Each structure stands twice: as structure tokens, then as C-alpha cells.
Structure 1
Amino acid sequence: MSRLLALALALLPMTASADSHACSEGSAQIRPVVSEKVSADPTRQRAFAGVVAAAHSADLAFQTIGRVARVAVDPGDRVSEGDVLASLDRVDLQEDLASARAALGSAKAEAAYARQSHERVRILAERGIAPIAQLERAQAARDTAEARAEAASADLARAREALGHGTLRAPNDGIVLSTAIEAGTVVAAGTPILTLADLRGREAVIDVPGEFLQVLPPDARFDVVIHAEDATSHPARLRLVEPMLGDNIRTRRLRLTITEGAEDFRIGSLVSATLARLDLPVMTLPLTALSGPAGAPSVWRVAPEDRRLARVPVETGRRLADRIEITRGLAVGDEIVVKGTACLGEGQTVGPMVAP
């Protein structure tokens, strides 16, 4: 929006009030005022800085516990599906496998012995030689040994699976955004090792004032430009408004999906995003433009033909930071005084517009 300076040329009449007396004291001087032409879509004039992020990213982790032997990639590396990203110490995993095999062999031997013992006691009990209590103890020992053998078999299966999961591979083509673990670190199953971004899709992440959301439609369209010379704009659409993190945070984070030319954007690049359009026109003015009582606000409009001032009643709507929505009383292109309104009067003439 254009903000312009004008010079107040006419003198104000003397009144009995202190404010008017102060105004009349300086009435012989030319007083500057600041004016602004009303725009139907002032949000288009504001660009929001942000960065490019991947549309999809994931934290990758091992599915087993172990010591990290090697991290094969660095942040910024591009990888293909199936590439090795990191690996655990296979010596430790093989030792765990050998231990699980030995434990299973021992458990099977104990189970076999317990079954034989139970069979002998059962035969003696049928002949009336062994008491029933001895038979019950033998049966319990057999069941316990067989359960231990099953548990050892499961441990062996997990050790074999862990050995197979000792290598972390890329699930898809992507770019490594960050690594969280160094070689030699002992990690548990599920501990994030690195973050991998999908090559498909890009988003612009920007922060906007909370009041900006009041004029933002759910399907808002933006124009995104890379911070570079001769950069062209690319269309984007609003995908997500992230939740507010706290009462003291006055900005909201928007995620914009870049719909065309996403391959031109590198992750981490600085961009600017501007609202492409609004479905309904929104006219706003600075709060300093309003005068009169709170229930009946008005503004000073400059007539384009003779530069004379006229007080115009207006109706206001939503407050947008330091601006206020004008719902009735003005038209697009009207020149309104936004600063220096305290000592103005009806019919007063202001000078020509000059650059600030």
C-alpha cells in the first residue's frame, strides 16, 4: 500500500478547549500529515520469510539394541533406496547369537532329562511304588523345563533377527537431513539414528502474526520466491496451520505445499511467501487513522480534485495487529489521513503528495 505525506495548509478556527488552543498555536505553521490509499487486499503487500522443508521426512532407527559400529552418511548426502546408512557391531550380535544357541541346547537337555524322569516316576506310581506327590513334582519339573526350552528358542530367534537388523538401510530415495548418533554409541531399539527426507515434494515453512489468520481462507494460495536474483515465483497452497505452542507466542507457523516447480527448491533455502489472493476484498487502515468517539468512528478523506478534507463515518470490523478492518464507508483508492489527524478540520486543504 502506498503511504504518502501531505502538508496541511489551512488554518484551524480557535476554540475554548486546551487541545484546540494547542492546535491554534501552531496553526500558522504548515503541519505535515501522513496519508494512505486504501487497498482491497493489503495482505498482498507483505512478504513472509521462511525456509524450504521436505514434504515428508522420517527418523530412522535400528530395531534392536547394540553398539553403533559405523554411520555411513553425513547431513546433506543423497541416498538411494537400499543404501547402507549405519550398522551395529556384528561381533556383539554374533556373540549374542552364540550365547542364545548355547542356552537353547542346555534348555533342551534339561527338558529331555525332565521328561525321562517324569516317565520313570509315572511307571513307578502305576505300580504303587512311588507316591502321587512325587509324580506331581516330576510332572511340574517336566513342564518347567519344556517352558524354559521354548523361551530359549524364542531368544535364539530374536538373536538371529537382531543380527539381520544390524544394518540400517534407506527405505526410499532421499536426503539425509541430520544424524543424531556417533559411532561407538550403545543404542536401544527405536533410538533415532538419523533423519531422512523424501525427495518428492517440498514445503515452505513461514511464520505469520496470529491476526493474519483472521483474513486467511482455508485454501489460501501463496506465491513463493527463492531469495536469489532473477528468481521466479512458484504457486503454493496452505496445507497446515501448526498449533500455537504457548500464550506468549504471537506468531503461527504455516506449512505451504509448493505445487509447481518443487524440484527448483533446495531444502533449507530461504524463501519469501506472499498471499496470492483473497476471495473477498479486505480494506484495512492503521488504528491511528480513526478519530471521534469509539461508538461512531470516522476518518479524514482527501478529495482528489481539490485536496480538501472531509470527515467520513466508517464501520469497523476485525482488528489485525496495529490495523483495523473497514467494513463500510470507504472505497478502494480513497486517500485517508492516517497520522496527524488531531488538528484537522472539515474543508481544510492539504498539500500535494510527496515521497516520505
Structure 2
Amino acid sequence: MAVALLALAGCGHKAPEANAAAPVIAFPVKAADGAMAGRFPGDVHARYEMPLSFRVSGQLVSRRVDPGERVKQGELLAQLDPADANKQMSAAKAALDAAEHRLVFATQQRDRDDAQFKQNLISQLQWQQTQDNYASALGGRDQARQQYALAQDQLRYTSLMADHDGVITSRQAEVGQVLAAGQQVFGFAWSGEREIDVDVPESRVGSITLGQAAIVTLPALPGHRYAAHVREIAPAADVSSHTYLVKVQVERADAALQLGMTADVTLQTDQSALAMVSIPATALFHQGERPAVWVVRPTDSTLELRPVIVARYGERDVLLSAGLNAGECIVMQGVHAVSVGEKVSPIAPPHPEDAPQ
């Protein structure tokens, strides 16, 4: 009876498992849309934007347009006081009339002296003086003519005209203000071509190329999609934001695409980008100098250290272009506390927000 009791007591204790699975936080990875990896916010601009200003100084006496107005090529936008320019043109016209009169007299004198010199009625010195007077009168007339043309231009420059169809985007001068030559009066955007200005982080600008295709969507225009392409990439980063300005030109802009609208630019990638996967930054390990991840084998739940190729590093995630397929289970946290061949039991992250999106 004592032997039987001892046998029953021994059945109450289980022998420890030789290969107990260690719990690890692991989760299946999801495919990352390569196009979404190249998505950036931006805003709509005109292909050509510039300040408008007078080419001469003066007092602004009238302003014909306000911000937001559309104007046609050749339309008068603003006017400087033309009084001084009119006086300069009148003086230049009087100087031109006098120069032309002197040229007529010098021409007549030259013709008379030419005839008399051929008959030896005047000396060669007198004839040469007549030729010199004629040349001086001719040069004076040409100079006066140029001064008169310049005065006409100065008078024309007191009127600010639109040199292209477009829209007034801003106003920097008021009536009565004395302006210097070249001082901005209006901001002006040409009609027609539109583009999206995008600020790209320095870590991602290397993957963008000139001519790269893109799709533009706008929150204000649901259902509208515009084909576009990368037209310009800034050669240097902005000193304050350390981002690169990328200009994406819209290929068929319509009237619905208004200046200043917020836009989403999705850069198109090749088909290989569609095979990318995204993992949390905490899941990345290293095998020597190469990046790697811990993969849970589905056959026996043991760990495999697999090298991967990183396409982009983000703030909280890493985009992989090779080495890992969507659906494979990898260790998300505690990558330094596991080893090759270790048997594990995958568990979900303790906080739902830590799970990969």
C-alpha cells in the first residue's frame, strides 16, 4: 500500500519539457505599396510666377487691379505720374528739331563748298572744315534722335502693363507711394501651366529622378486625378528646413486647379517597388555589417537570421526591398535577446499601437 501511495504521488508532478518555446513578440509583415512610399504633400503654383515692377522711379498715381483679378496681355495695371517724363520727352524733341536744322544747314554748306573746291575757289583747309561741320551735325542729329527715343521709352515705362495673361497674386504698393525703379508693385502668376511644389526630406530625395511620373490628387477636388512628372529638383537643401524643393509639373491642368490648393503627389515607381515590405525599426538587426531580421520558421517555430536590403529608413519603420516576403512572421522586439535556431512562441505586442500598420 505504501508503494502504491508513492506511485500516485509521483504522477502528480510533470517532468520539465526539454525544449520549452520562449515567448517572443512577433507578427506577420505586410506588403508596402511602393507608390505610397513616394507620397508627399505639396501646394499648387503657376509654372511662371514673378514680381511686377516699374522700370523707372516715380509716384504711383493710379492702380487698376487688385489681388485675385485675372488680366489679359497688354492690360494697364498701374500708372506713375508722367509729368516729369513728358517734360523730358518735350526737351528731347526740341533738341532733335534743332539738331535736324543744323544738319540741313551743314548739308547745304557742304554741297556749296564741294562745288567751289572742285573749281579751286576755296582752300583745302576751308573745305575740310566744312566736312568736319557736316560730320558733327550728322552725329548730333543721330544722338538727339536716340535721346528722343529714350525719352519716349521713359514715358512708356510710367505705365505698368501685363506682359502675359494671368492673375494678380499680391499687392505691395499703394496710390501716392513714391517707388524706386524695380520696386515690386504686384505679384503675378501666368495662366496656363501649373505645378506642385513639394518639400522632400534629404533621406528620400535620392530616390527621385527628373521626368519621374506622378499622380496628383487634391482634397478640395475629390475624384480629380492629374497626371504629372518631376520637372525640377533643387540642387541644394533649404538652410532652415533641410528639405529639397521638388517641382512636379501637371500635364493637363484645368480651371479647377486653383493656385494655393493643397495637393498630394504620389510618385510612380517600377513594379519591383510593389514587392517591398515595411517593418518596425525595432525589428531590424545586423549580421556583421549587413542588416538582417529574425524570421520565425513556420515548420518548427525556430528562429532564422536572414539578411535583408533596406530601401528607406523612416522615423518608426524601415522599408525593405529584398530578403523578406509579405506574410512571414518576424521578431518585432527584443531582437538582441534571441539566437539562431531557438524555438519560440510568437505572441502579439502588448499594446495594439505597437502592431505594424
- Work out the CA distance in 2 between the residues paired with 1:250 and 1:100: 55
Residue 314 of structure 1 corresponds to 307
State which of 66, 73, 92 in structure 1 corresponds to 2:65.
Answer: 73
8 Å CA contact 1:314–1:326 kept in 2: the answer is no
Q: Does 1:329 align with 2:323?
A: yes
Q: Does 1:91 align with 2:83?
A: yes
Change (3 A) 1:70 1:316: same
Aligned-pair CA distance for 1:194? 3.1
Residue 300 of structure 1 corresponds to 294
2:285 is paired with a residue of what secondary structure?
coil
Map 1:107-186 to 2 at 5 A.
107-118=99-110, 122=114, 125=117, 130-164=122-156, 166-183=158-175, 184-186=177-179
**Partner AA of 1:340 in structure 2:** G
Q: 1:133-154 CA distances to partner (integer Å, 9 max, x unpaired)?
A: 2322221121111111122123
- Work out the CA distance in 1 between the residues paired with 2:63 and 2:126: 58
Q: 1:104-141 CA distances to partner (integer Å, 9 max, x unpaired)?
A: 12212322343455456556655656442232222112
Q: Does 1:271 align with 2:263?
A: yes
Q: Does 1:224 align with 2:220?
A: no
Change (3 A) 1:309 1:208: farther
Q: 1:244-295 CA distances to partner (integer Å, 9 max, x unpaired)?
A: 2259674222222345674333211233334465432234545543324334
**Partner AA of 1:65 in structure 2:** V
Q: Does 1:255 align with 2:251?
A: no
Q: 1:320-351 CA distances to partner (integer Å, 9 max, x unpaired)?
A: 46666544431123343344311134222231
8 Å CA contact 1:59–1:192 kept in 2: the answer is yes
- Work out the CA distance in 2 between the residues paired with 1:186 and 1:107: 34
Structure possessing the higher radius of gyration over alpha carbons: 2
Change (3 A) 1:337 1:231: farther
8 Å CA contact 1:235–1:258 kept in 2: the answer is yes
Q: CA RMSD for the aligned pairs?
A: 3.8
Change (3 A) 1:123 1:256: closer
1:268 is paired with a residue of what secondary structure?
coil
Change (3 A) 1:124 1:81: closer
Say which is worse superposed, 174-183 or 48-57, in terms of deviation: 174-183
Listed as ranges, the gaps of 5+ residues in structure 1 are 1-12, 14-26
Using the aligned pairs only, state the percent identity: 23
8 Å CA contact 1:181–1:194 kept in 2: the answer is yes
2:287 is paired with a residue of what secondary structure?
coil
Aligned-pair CA distance for 1:299? 0.9
**Partner AA of 1:355 in structure 2:** P
TM-score by length of 1: 0.73
- Work out the CA distance in 2 between the residues paired with 1:206 and 1:246: 12
Q: Does 1:350 align with 2:346?
A: yes
Aligned-pair CA distance for 1:56? 3.6
- Work out the CA distance in 2 between the residues paired with 1:294 and 1:43: 31
Residue 225 of structure 2 corresponds to 234
- Count of residue pairs the alignment pairs up: 323
- Work out the CA distance in 2 between the residues paired with 1:59 and 1:225: 27
Change (3 A) 1:274 1:167: same
TM-score by length of 2: 0.73
